[in-house]
Structure 1
Amino acid sequence: MKVDYFIVGLGLAGIAFCEQLRKANKTFLVFDDGSQQSSIVAAGMYNPVILKRFTEVWMADEQLILALPVYKELEELLEVKIDHKLKIYRRFASIEEQNTWFTASDNPKLEKYMSTKIVSNSNPHIDAPFGYGEVLEGGRVDTDLLISAYKKYLEKNSKLISDSFQYDDLALEGTKLHYKDHEAKQLVFCEGFGLLKNPFFKHLPLNGTKGEVITIKAPSLKIDFAVKSSVFIMPNGNDEYYVGATYNWTDKTNIPTELAKVELVSKLKTFLKCPFEVVSHFAGIRPTVNNRRPLVGTHATYNNLHVLNGLGTRGVMIAPYVAQELFNFIENKQNMNPEISINRFII
């Protein structure tokens, strides 16, 4: 098969780049073995405010303007509902936190995302005597459904090979790339934490941060909004809720741990005051970078090999933006945002 692009990896980054190609009428073939779990494990929340420090998410305006139409188009393409508008409440631990919230909401970059009205708590199963601050323009993308539906779409159109990509089988011949019985002009690696095994880009400073989430069933809770306190709790339907997430910088496995489960349950109990049971537990490695900026660009020697990675904890918001940046860089020779370019690591 001859195509314009090979794509390796089908998480949020891979899907976002596939969409750039599809809309530009470029042909492509995707290789994915399902080994990277960060997109599937992700709760999928998009939120323009960093709720620990009450500051703006990097390039929140630009990201949301691009991302929301992309997910709407994907809903139409795949005939599934994936983008769910969601109220996001930040639980205040004190009067001081309330005051800090109000101060932050005066920031011109944050005022449209932070309500200046304190939301009082009326749910007896949540301990929130100081109320909540409401984040505006937030929501949740069902990443699990998105990825599974997109895989089916690719399979139906003979655009997916569900197998590991073998780097040794890639032959670079001038402007052409040969892989087994296939040929392409360009190749984009969207492998998440799997990048560390990639011989072309493993030198990049991708750290990887393990995250674990649990799903609980709490029939008496009855909330239709997300709460951020010491952990997030977010409704998932049928009286089930996502609770997350942990951060572990040393364990690089996708195996859920009892220690993380205990941590999540313990933190949840500091403000949730109703019975619940843990019904599932997941883990994945987030593709993180120390300066919290993605890794996007072209190989220094092979100008038809590219990387789209390092989306960290906010892949839902960032993926469409970085995918567009890389596409315009490759196809239209437009300058890339230097904050995301891998050239920042070239000495």
Structure 2
Amino acid sequence: MLDYIVVGLGLAGISFCEVLEKEGKSFVVITDESQQASQVAGGLYNPVILKRFTMAWKAKQQLLDAKPFYQSLENKLGVKLDYELPVLRKFASIEEQNLWFEAADRPDLDYFLSTKLLPNSNPVIDAPHGFGQVKYTGRIDTAALVRSYKSYLKRTDSLLEESLDFDELSISSEQVAYKSLTAKNIVFASGYGLKQNPYFGYLPLNGTKGELLVIHAPDYKEEKVIKSSVFTIPMENDKYLVGATYKWKDKTNEPTEAAKNELLEKLQTFLTCDFEVVGHVAGIRPTVTDRRPLVGRHPEHENLYVLNGFGSRGVLIGPYASRQLFDYIENESELDPEMNIQRFTKKHFPN
């Protein structure tokens, strides 16, 4: 009998598998790749919400967990994943500059926000008010991570590539059985696919569609992440990621012309050089009404668990939430109440 079945192979599933492996637990992953959010994500890790100059939820602790986590994955998979890149926030006005310096005096934020105003030195960027720099930021190549981890699981015979058929799932107090597999526990880390889950479908997972462009801009010559009304993230060979959109009604993984036009319009408010669009991708972020993850045990089945709802911050939240869930299952540790699904359970399971 396995220790775990893990459903989903995005940032949540991979993060949890890594904890299981480090702890010597046996597992098999079931994935159908129906959810694209991790593969098409910008992968930016940035602890600061740059729209409001505030800290993201528990971001400092998550960053401390994430850096060695991805370093370990790089060594294990033999692939470059972590690209350390400063993030420059373009100021729209003198007032924004002042708000930045006020924020840089706050506890926690003072660690990440540089108090040195950076004048614009890139001739193809329109930024008369300059930039503020966020420190200790970068990008995880999430597409390379998913691709490499999938190959690793195939080599270790730990991957089942199919859509989970819930009619084939049998649950008892002693075990979970799926076709020929039996395990002590099952963890659903299936992103927006959780909406079709008969056990956890009651959770308020909204799903927010995000679209990204890839542009080829030989004259841009920018080595830092620029954040304005959209961000640009440097890649190889004069290519840049441009994103992202946030749409709540469309729940498909199909790129749209409307989102492409929206991104281009915003990009051209500050980028003045010629460029060519060479890529366009879309995915559904697993977002939650209260902007906190969905982690915990099913109220009626002791061996069913969920690890979900990371939104646009899965790169940072994944390692933190996965360790919390493992310790909760195996060591009876308390889950962080802000992400424990018990906050939504009483309404649906009053007893």
* Secondary structure, aligned partner of 1:284: strand
Which residue identity does 2:36 align to in structure 1?
Q
Which residue identity does 2:65 align to in structure 1?
L
What is the Cα-based RMSD across aligned positions, in Å?
Answer: 0.6
Tell me the distance in 1 between the aligned counterparts of 2:59 and 2:285.
20
Tell me the distance in 1 between the aligned counterparts of 2:176 and 2:133.
50
Unaligned runs of 5+ in 2: 347-351
Question: Hey, what does 1:327 align to over in structure 2?
Answer: 326
Tell me the distance in 1 between the aligned counterparts of 2:274 and 2:128.
20
Tell me the distance in 2 between the aligned counterparts of 1:38 and 1:65.
24
Q: Residue by residue, what CA displacement relative to the aligned partner does 1:297-335 show, whole Å, maximum 9, x if unpaired?
A: 001111100000000010000000110110000000000
Identity value in percent: 55
Question: Hey, what does 2:256 align to over in structure 1?
Answer: 257
Question: Hey, what does 2:301 align to over in structure 1?
Answer: 302
Tell me the distance in 2 between the aligned counterparts of 1:32 and 1:294.
21
Question: Hey, what does 2:349 align to over in structure 1?
Answer: none
| Residue 15 of structure 1, CA deviation | 0.3
Tell me the distance in 1 between the aligned counterparts of 2:165 and 2:71.
34
Which residue identity does 2:190 align to in structure 1?
E
Tell me the distance in 2 between the aligned counterparts of 1:167 and 1:192.
16
The 5 A counterparts of 1:115-130 are 115-130=114-129
Tell me the distance in 1 between the aligned counterparts of 2:194 and 2:149.
22
8 Å CA contact retained: 2:285, 2:312: yes
| Residue 174 of structure 1, CA deviation | 2.4
Q: Check if 1:204 corresponds to 2:203.
A: yes
Question: Hey, what does 2:45 align to over in structure 1?
Answer: 46
Tell me the distance in 2 between the aligned counterparts of 1:135 and 1:162.
40
Question: Hey, what does 1:153 align to over in structure 2?
Answer: 152
Question: Hey, what does 1:78 align to over in structure 2?
Answer: 77
8 Å CA contact retained: 2:173, 2:303: no
Tell me the distance in 2 between the aligned counterparts of 1:32 and 1:82.
22
Q: Residue by residue, what CA displacement relative to the aligned partner does 1:180-203 show, whole Å, maximum 9, x if unpaired?
A: 111100000000000000000000
What is the TM-score of this pair, normalised by structure 1?
0.99
Question: Hey, what does 1:183 align to over in structure 2?
Answer: 182
8 Å CA contact retained: 2:8, 2:30: yes
Which residue identity does 1:146 align to in structure 2?
L
Question: Hey, what does 1:137 align to over in structure 2?
Answer: 136
Tell me the distance in 2 between the aligned counterparts of 1:110 and 1:175.
47
Tell me the distance in 2 between the aligned counterparts of 1:177 and 1:99.
56
Tell me the distance in 1 between the aligned counterparts of 2:130 and 2:61.
30
Tell me the distance in 2 between the aligned counterparts of 1:38 and 1:266.
23
Question: Hey, what does 1:12 align to over in structure 2?
Answer: 11
What is the TM-score of this pair, normalised by structure 2?
0.98
Which residue identity does 1:274 align to in structure 2?
C
* Secondary structure, aligned partner of 1:199: coil
Which residue identity does 2:186 align to in structure 1?
L
Q: Check if 1:98 corresponds to 2:97.
A: yes
Q: Check if 1:283 corresponds to 2:300.
A: no
Tell me the distance in 1 between the aligned counterparts of 2:61 and 2:116.
26
Question: Hey, what does 2:171 align to over in structure 1?
Answer: 172
Question: Hey, what does 1:269 align to over in structure 2?
Answer: 268
Tell me the distance in 2 between the aligned counterparts of 1:200 and 1:49.
34
Question: Hey, what does 2:2 align to over in structure 1?
Answer: 3
Which residue identity does 1:27 align to in structure 2?
S
Question: Hey, what does 2:311 align to over in structure 1?
Answer: 312
Tell me the distance in 2 between the aligned counterparts of 1:70 and 1:27.
20
The 5 A counterparts of 1:103-114 are 103-114=102-113
Which residue identity does 1:185 align to in structure 2?
K
Question: Hey, what does 1:217 align to over in structure 2?
Answer: 216
Tell me the distance in 2 between the aligned counterparts of 1:178 and 1:205.
27
Tell me the distance in 1 between the aligned counterparts of 2:282 and 2:44.
16
Which residue identity does 2:243 align to in structure 1?
G
Q: Residue by residue, what CA displacement relative to the aligned partner does 1:78-101 show, whole Å, maximum 9, x if unpaired?
A: 011101100110000111100000
Tell me the distance in 1 between the aligned counterparts of 2:86 and 2:338.
31
Question: Hey, what does 1:232 align to over in structure 2?
Answer: 231
Question: Hey, what does 2:344 align to over in structure 1?
Answer: 345
Tell me the distance in 1 between the aligned counterparts of 2:280 and 2:72.
31
* Secondary structure, aligned partner of 1:266: helix
8 Å CA contact retained: 2:5, 2:29: yes
Question: Hey, what does 1:31 align to over in structure 2?
Answer: 30
Which residue identity does 2:137 align to in structure 1?
G
Q: Residue by residue, what CA displacement relative to the aligned partner does 1:209-254 show, whole Å, maximum 9, x if unpaired?
A: 0000000000011111000001001101100000000010000000
